[in-house]
Amino acid sequence: MTPGSDSGATSDAPASGERTRAEDRGPGDPTPGPKKPRSFWKELPILIGIALVLALLIKTFLVQAFSIPSDSMQNTLQQGDRVLVDKLTPWFGSEPERGEVVVFHDPDNWLAGEPTADPNALQKVLSWIGLMPSAEEKDLIKRVIGVGGDTVSCKGTGPVKVNGKALNDTSFVYAGNTPCSVDDQGGQFTVKIPKGYIWVMGDHRQNSRDSRYNQDDAHHGMVPVKDVVGRAIVIAWPINRWDTLPVPDTFDQQGLSDQSSASGALTAAPDAVALAGMVPVALWRRRRIAPAETR
């Protein structure tokens, strides 16, 4: 050890036989720089793939677009309207409630004889992933009038009664229509709805083949809850038709649920989960504004 040296110090010089990285490089070798970023065109397929997966997940679990093919829900919905359907809350135990506009699978050949669309391959793919309204023409859209446990009746020209309570449906039934149809094909009825089913009617009462006119089918005109896709919550297109689809006040009248065993199926806990998952759906869920119209 040389005088004045610190026994704890270490030398910066390379050990014998070691070579620095600079010594390893030849005079013509380039100095390494930062890693070159991936080009936009290489990343584009990845971004598109992620977008498609997200769209598919949204369509499957959150919301799905549907196109209105007929006039049976006028004036709430017009032919050609696009509606967004909430598919989230049913995952948490929600069941259809009176007054809601719902989309459901054809329960027993209700659409027999109706013209069906013939989408091209691109439209089918875009519909499948949720980037276009559903091309599936075996779905219908109507308003829920009664749920499991209810007794729904119609005599003369109306009004429609649920558990003996008359519905004031002037805010959503097509102008000029009577709540009930005077005919022997189903316009006059008294039905008791079993648990797990709903009774649906179009807002254009004299132009809707709904529960009333399918009482001879396997479900006696009722729609199994398991066939309900979800609740239509908003008219999304065209822009000048944008509107929410609230439950009319008449369905909240006191005493309407006295004989029903299936109302209020969505408890506070699932509602909170739905709010966390999709705030707009929860905000629209029970708003009471004058309704719009459908098929």
CATH code: domain of residue 103: 2.10.109.10
Residues 140, 133: contact at Cβ < 8 Å? no
Which is catalytic among the residues 59, 87, 142, 161? 142
Give the separation between CA 64 and CA 133, rounded to whole angstroms.
7
Tell me if 187 is assigned to some domain. yes
Reply yes or no on whether 192 is catalytic. no
Reply yes or no on whether 72 is catalytic. yes
Tell me if 190 is assigned to some domain. yes
Which is catalytic among the residues 67, 72, 127, 181? 72
Establish how many alpha carbons lie within 13 A of residue 124's alpha carbon, considering only the half-sphere containing its beta carbon: 5
Residue 248: predicted pLDDT? 96
Tell me if 290 is assigned to some domain. no
Tell me if 11 is assigned to some domain. no
Residue 254: predicted pLDDT? 86
pTM for the full predicted model: 0.67
Give the separation between CA 55 and CA 64, rounded to whole angstroms.
10
Tell me if 191 is assigned to some domain. yes
Tell me if 5 is assigned to some domain. no
Q: Which pLDDT tens digits describe the chain residue by residue (295 residues)?
A: 444 434 444 444 444 444 444 445 555 555 555 666 667 677 777 777 776 666 655 555 567 888 898 899 999 999 999 999 988 887 677 899 999 999 999 999 898 766 566 666 776 666 665 555 555 558 899 999 999 999 999 999 999 999 999 999 999 999 999 999 999 899 999 999 999 999 999 999 999 999 999 999 999 999 999 999 999 999 998 999 999 999 999 999 988 886 543 333 332 223 333 333 333 443 344 443 333 333 4
Tell me if 254 is assigned to some domain. yes
Range of the domain at 93: 41-284
Quote the number of domains for the chain: 1
Give the separation between CA 228 and CA 148, rounded to whole angstroms.
14
Tell me if 146 is assigned to some domain. yes
